[in-house]
Structure 1
Amino acid sequence: MKALVLAGGSGSRMRPFTHSFAKQLVPVANKPVLFYGLEAIRDAGIHEVGIVVGATAREIRDAVGDGSRFGLKVTYLRQDAPRGLAHAVLIAREYLGDDDFVMYLGDNFIMGGIEDFVDRFRRDRPHAQILLTEVPDPRPFGVAELGSGGRVVGLEEKPERPKSDLILVGVYLFGPAVHEAVAGLRPSRRGELEITDAVQRLIDRGRRVESTRLSGYWKDTGNVDDMLEVNRLVLETLEPSAEAGEVDGTGELIGRVVLGAGARVLGSRVVGPVVIGPGSVVRDSYVGPFTSIDRDCTVTGSEIEHSIVLRGARIDGVGRIRSSLIGREARVVPAPRVPNTHRLLLGDHSSVQISR
């Protein structure tokens, strides 16, 4: 069995952040979200991985390399533009051959991994197996309709009137029959080759498509709020470890705090769960729960909580920051003081009240 990991998306829901950064590499507890997926694939006993890349191919290659650090053998497959999940299967046809494969969306996060999901596929041998979870509003997702025994009888992509509250999580398992289903697909109204259409073709041709209900936590980390939620969840599992860093006589660590090699906490209070990366310095500041600070950052005279700070960022004298995502080498500093003033553009016969 092989894996096909999709890491070619543009991250439009996280712009402008993703104009200069691959969304799959945004860190959760100081580790790129893509790495959690690669580790889950390895832990499921799969070691050959094709990664579909697009405009951010160089960043993905630099981060993942040949895959050996994960115990994987990685092959990169170039996609000229994000043309849908089924298009990724289409361009990977030669690489996949006639092997079974798991398709994993690189910006998805699944707590607990996919080992049970893969084991069931290997045991039951359906032509396809999809992973489902219930959501309050299924309209923005692919939606599954189930028959008796969990057999999938229908799929719709982003329907206006969903037939169930069960949506497709971004992990799929396929046998080689999917290639016949993908061949000849036409773009949907969104202009993409939809994997839901390919799976529906399997169903229409009498192929066996099974489903598994996800019992644990899943999140599509497609926007900032989702990233912060996943970061919070992972940080809650931390075991405290401060031995590699330094805390001066007036510094204080409370709760689950991890300090990377050479990280320093000087005259500051850190309330976990928090992770502070190697070489970062927190001086005369407060770092509150659910905050990840990457390597080589500085936080001085400031307060921050429930946030993600990327490599090399500098936060200096800005008061309180919360629920924020701060990019690589970014600088957050105070604005110059200006006199209080009001600028107005009023139409005829207007009435305005201004507090003094």
Structure 2
Amino acid sequence: MIGLVLAAGAGRRLRPYTDSLPKALVPVGRAGIEAEDGPTVLDLTLANFAEVGLTEAAIIVGYRKEAVYARKAILEARYGIELTLIDNDKAEEWNNAYSLWCGRDAVRHSVILANGDTIHPVSVERTLLDARDGEKKIILALDTVKQLADEEMKVVADPVKGVRRITKLMDPAEATGEYIGVTLIEGEAAPELADALRVTYERDPQLYYEDGYQELVNRGFRIDVAPIGDVPWVEIDDHDDLARGREIVCRY
């Protein structure tokens, strides 16, 4: 098993940081004067991968990819993880269904996929690994504690059938929980997932990879969930999220 990080996004709501950096390299150090010199989301994700024993990871890069290439050797030495960088040639034009499709060959190795804008503790990776049973092919990390609103990636999951719906466009009251942007994908699922992602971005290049998950569900493919419990995490989209992320990092 290897790690896989989606780090191709521009994160325009985080300017001026993202004038020169991809979102995954925005500093998220401790709140206060040290914050600007702190670790990035990519640092924290690779640290989690290393802590659960992963020694290889692929990073899908696009917007300001040169910044990731420049740090590759430093990150490898810091976390003891061999990194492969995968270029997304449409990172500034298309959404992340295509971005994950670009990593389809990496998925064949079985992966823990992490969005490049999600700060979360290593307990999330451990929860996903503990949920493996030889039968589950795709397992989503699910927050069943948080109060949901319109912007969250909401999931309806059935105890017997697994995921039934995954979308932002849902009444929060209907949802089982929120998908936090971390997934365990077994290698056997790679061909079917790649095809579902291809169909998804060909239908509309602005769709999310979660729409690819829904395509799989619609085809009868079972996707499971693993509740992460009451743990601090945040998806960093704007400066308010970044401030929240810096508070969370203090707890790790």
Counterpart code for 1:180? E
Q: 2:138 is matched with which residue?
A: 128
Residues 195-246 of structure 1 show CA distances to partners (whole Å, capped at 9, x for unaligned) of 2222223323333311111221110122111211221233356xxxxxxxxx
Larger Rg: 1
Q: Could you tell me how far apart the structure 1 residues matched to 2:46 and 2:87 are?
A: 18
Q: 1:91 is matched with which residue?
A: 102
- Confirm whether residue 50 of structure 1 aligns to residue 58 of structure 2: yes
Question: Is the CA contact 1:44–1:114 (under 8 Å) kept in the aligned structure 2?
Answer: no
SS in 1 for 2:6: strand
Q: 2:82 is matched with which residue?
A: 73
Question: Is the CA contact 1:23–1:107 (under 8 Å) kept in the aligned structure 2?
Answer: yes
Q: Give the counterpart of 1:223 among 235, 238, 242.
A: 238
Q: Could you tell me how far apart the structure 2 residues matched to 1:112 and 1:2 are?
A: 15
Q: 2:117 is matched with which residue?
A: 107
- Confirm whether residue 2 of structure 1 aligns to residue 29 of structure 2: no
Change (3 A) 1:203 1:63: same
Q: Give the counterpart of 1:174 among 175, 179, 185.
A: 185
Q: Could you tell me how far apart the structure 2 residues matched to 1:95 and 1:169 are?
A: 21
- Paired residues for 1:1-356 under 5 Å: 1-27=1-27, 28-29=29-30, 30-65=38-73, 67-82=76-91, 83-96=94-107, 98-133=108-143, 134-149=145-160, 151-156=162-167, 158-159=168-169, 161-162=171-172, 163-164=174-175, 166-175=177-186, 176-183=188-195, 184-187=198-201, 191-215=205-229, 216-235=231-250
Q: Could you tell me how far apart the structure 2 residues matched to 1:127 and 1:202 are?
A: 12
Greater percentage in helix:
2
Q: Could you tell me how far apart the structure 1 residues matched to 2:207 and 2:185 are?
A: 17
Q: Could you tell me how far apart the structure 1 residues matched to 2:169 and 2:118 are?
A: 21
- What is the TM-score normalised by the length of structure 1? 0.60
Question: Is the CA contact 1:136–1:165 (under 8 Å) kept in the aligned structure 2?
Answer: no
Counterpart code for 1:87? Y
Question: Is the CA contact 1:135–1:165 (under 8 Å) kept in the aligned structure 2?
Answer: no
SS in 2 for 1:86: helix
SS in 1 for 2:132: helix
SS in 2 for 1:61: helix
Counterpart code for 1:68? A
**Deviation of the 1:127 alpha carbon:** 1.5
Question: Is the CA contact 2:5–2:59 (under 8 Å) kept in the aligned structure 1?
Answer: yes
SS in 1 for 2:200: coil
**Deviation of the 1:151 alpha carbon:** 2.2
More relative contact order, 1 or 2 (CA 8 Å, 6+ apart):
2
Counterpart code for 1:108? T
Identity over the aligned pairs, expressed in percent? 23
Change (3 A) 1:48 1:112: closer
Greater percentage in strand:
1
**Deviation of the 1:95 alpha carbon:** 3.7
**Deviation of the 1:40 alpha carbon:** 0.5
Q: CA RMSD in A?
A: 2.4
SS in 1 for 2:133: helix
Change (3 A) 1:150 1:109: farther
Q: 1:341 is matched with which residue?
A: none
Q: Could you tell me how far apart the structure 2 residues matched to 1:14 and 1:85 are?
A: 18
SS in 1 for 2:199: coil
Question: Is the CA contact 1:33–1:107 (under 8 Å) kept in the aligned structure 2?
Answer: yes
Change (3 A) 1:188 1:142: farther
**Deviation of the 1:12 alpha carbon:** 1.6
Ranges in structure 1 where 5+ consecutive residues have no aligned partner:
238-356
Q: Runs ≥4 in structure 1, deviation > 6 angstroms?
A: none
Question: Is the CA contact 2:148–2:178 (under 8 Å) kept in the aligned structure 1?
Answer: no
